């Protein structure tokens, strides 16, 4: 009984190599594994990129069949093999590193080899039987890395963005739910970390939800920048080696397969060399990350303490916070989101530098652009999920503490300035601070307003702006000595 071979021999223009017999990738992928042992993170970690690569190969096979440059039997095998990758199979065979030289050629060849060897098995052939079906002449027909790779990146990012937007909307809704829950909780607002005027905790959380809603809009708008593709450009945008009907035909099939409103770039030479859409998209991701980080900064401040800080809200206790201080609980969920934001900001700079570094008819640095963007989307989506599930949904308000802080705040006198004037308000605010007395009591004692009127104007609805002042009361000037006496 003969032993089953453990390897197969494949040959390229540089020579021959032994490839593991069970591997669906081939010699081009093998060389990339030798050359780019850098990130040690395979493209398989970005499932939507792998899926998008298979979609491009499938659309190309259908287009090549339709225009008659690839036999129907070969095109159908490639089509069926690509569908299996789209459905989630064989992703572990996409093994080349996310950081690679060659402008993405290794990733394109990895896809060509895997899909070809799946197709060969479907045909009852052995892996590596490229005389029957070739990764380059058949699976890569009418294509170049220079149109396949950027198109796959754009499609993959578009698919990945859909899940990010879903998570962002769920987070926005979680903040909205808290805004409703805290709608009647009065607190002291702050500017420059100093006491300002009253507001409700509900208003504060509603602001968080609103800013996330704006980010949802910006990300959705920038997604359309990714819908312009350069399929049919081949090497530099001239369309060399393609049939005149290929570009419109492959676009039609890509639109059907992806469900995206894709369009062929007006100038394929420009589109092949330009990566500006990736920079714009990266910028919108950074905007979302930084604004989310600012929200997390606020959550950490508002929950600081619990005894010696703001102590206005309680974040869910999800793990012990110290190996030396018993009972300490830290805001670890907002902290991890902060760190993701820092990484996204750094990735945006990487994308910017890579876009700038492009030369002449091609940008060779699309692999690091792709890695940076896919990592940012992935980490952002996961960060939003843990923020929502492990933090926001469980936030509670320290109502008594908030009420006491508002009650002792001199900032409430701002609400009385339309009635007693700025000068009198400033003097009484100073008096309240010096004597630790209630602003309301001082205003009444100064004869500036009745107790009933003060109580009305300092109601939670008036203080938070939920109930507008409809008619001004003429400013009443108290005797100077009355105000001065309380300020002394």
Please enumerate, as own/partner, the contacts of 167-172 that have beta carbons within 8 Å and a separation of 24 or more: 167/381, 167/384, 167/385, 167/388, 168/212, 168/215, 168/216, 168/219, 168/288, 168/384, 169/216, 170/384, 170/385, 170/388, 171/212, 171/384, 171/387, 171/388, 171/392, 172/209, 172/212, 172/213, 172/216
Q: Single out the catalytic residue among 322, 323, 409, 464.
A: 322
Strand, helix or coil for residue 20: strand
Q: What is the number of alpha carbons within 13 Å of residue 152 lying toward its C-beta?
A: 33
CA distance 211 to 213: 5
Q: Which residues of 324-342 are buried (b: 16+ CB within 10 A; e: fewer)?
A: eeeeebbbbbbebbbebbe
Q: What is the number of alpha carbons within 13 Å of residue 306 lying toward its C-beta?
A: 13
**Distance between terminal CA atoms of the chain?**
108
Say if residue 31 is exposed, middle or buried (CB neighbours under 10 Å; 0-12, 13-18, 19+).
Answer: middle
In the beta sheet, which residues pair with residue 15?
Answer: 12
Contact 248, 229 (CB under 8 A): no
Distances in whole angstroms, Cα of residue 268 to Cα of each of 157, 227, 229, 257: 21, 14, 9, 22
Is residue 450 flagged as an active site residue?
no
Determine if residue 8 is left, alpha or beta; phi over 0 gives left, psi from -120 to 50 gives alpha, anything else beta.
Answer: beta
Close Cβ partners of 72 (under 8 Å, ≥ 6 residues apart): 65
Residues classed as catalytic: 322
């Amino acid at each position: 009984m003969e032993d089953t071979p453990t390897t197969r021999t494949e040959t390229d223009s540089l020579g021959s190599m032994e490839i593991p017999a069970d591997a669906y990738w081939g010699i081009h992928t093998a060389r990339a594994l030798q050359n780019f042992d850098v990130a040690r993170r395979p493209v398989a970690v970005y499932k939507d990129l792998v899926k998008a690569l298979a979609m491009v190969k499938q659309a190309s096979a259908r287009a090549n069949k339709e225009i008659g440059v690839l036999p129907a039997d070969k095109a159908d095998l490639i089509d069926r093999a690509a569908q299996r990758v789209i459905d989630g199979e064989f992703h572990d065979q996409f093994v080349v590193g996310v950081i690679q030289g060659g402008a993405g050629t290794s990733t394109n060849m990895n896809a060509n080899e895997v899909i070809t060897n799946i197709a060969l098995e479907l045909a009852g052939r052995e892996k590596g039987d490229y005389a029957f079906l070739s990764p380059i002449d058949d699976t890569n027909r009418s294509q170049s890395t220079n149109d396949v790779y950027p198109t796959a990146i754009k499609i993959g990012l578009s698919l990945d963005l859909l899940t990010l937007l879903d998570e962002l909307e769920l987070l926005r809704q979680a903040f909205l739910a808290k805004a409703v829950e805290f709608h009647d909780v009065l607190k002291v607002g702050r500017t420059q970390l100093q006491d300002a005027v009253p507001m409700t905790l509900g208003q504060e959380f509603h602001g968080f939800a609103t800013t996330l809603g704006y980010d949802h809009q910006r990300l959705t708008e920038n997604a359309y920048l990714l819908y312009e593709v350069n399929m049919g450009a081949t090497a530099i945008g001239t369309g060399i080696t393609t049939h005149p009907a290929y570009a419109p035909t492959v676009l039609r099939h890509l639109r059907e397969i992806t469900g995206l409103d894709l369009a062929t770039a007006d100038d394929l030479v420009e589109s092949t060399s330009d990566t500006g859409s990736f920079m714009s998209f990266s910028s919108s991701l950074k905007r979302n990350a930084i604004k989310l980080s600012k929200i997390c900064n606020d959550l950490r401040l508002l929950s600081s303490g619990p005894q010696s800080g703001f102590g206005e809200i309680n974040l869910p206790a999800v793990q012990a916070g110290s190996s030396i201080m018993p009972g300490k609980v830290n805001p670890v969920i907002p902290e991890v989101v902060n760190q993701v934001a820092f990484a996204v900001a750094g990735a945006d700079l990487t994308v910017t530098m890579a876009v700038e570094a492009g030369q002449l008819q091609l940008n060779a640095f699309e692999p690091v652009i792709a890695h940076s963007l896919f990592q940012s989307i992935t980490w952002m989506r996961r960060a939003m999920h843990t923020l929502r599930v492990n933090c926001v949904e469980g936030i509670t308000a320290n109502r008594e503490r908030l009420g006491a802080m508002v009650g002792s705040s001199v900032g409430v006198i701002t609400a009385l300035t339309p009635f007693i004037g700025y000068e009198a308000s400033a003097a009484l605010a100073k008096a309240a601070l010096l004597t630790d007395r209630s602003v309301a009591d001082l205003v009444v004692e100064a004869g500036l307003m009745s107790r009933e009127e003060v109580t009305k104007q300092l109601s939670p609805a008036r203080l938070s702006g939920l109930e507008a002042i409809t008619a001004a009361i003429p400013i009443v000037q108290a005797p100077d000595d009355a105000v001065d006496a309380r300020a002394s």
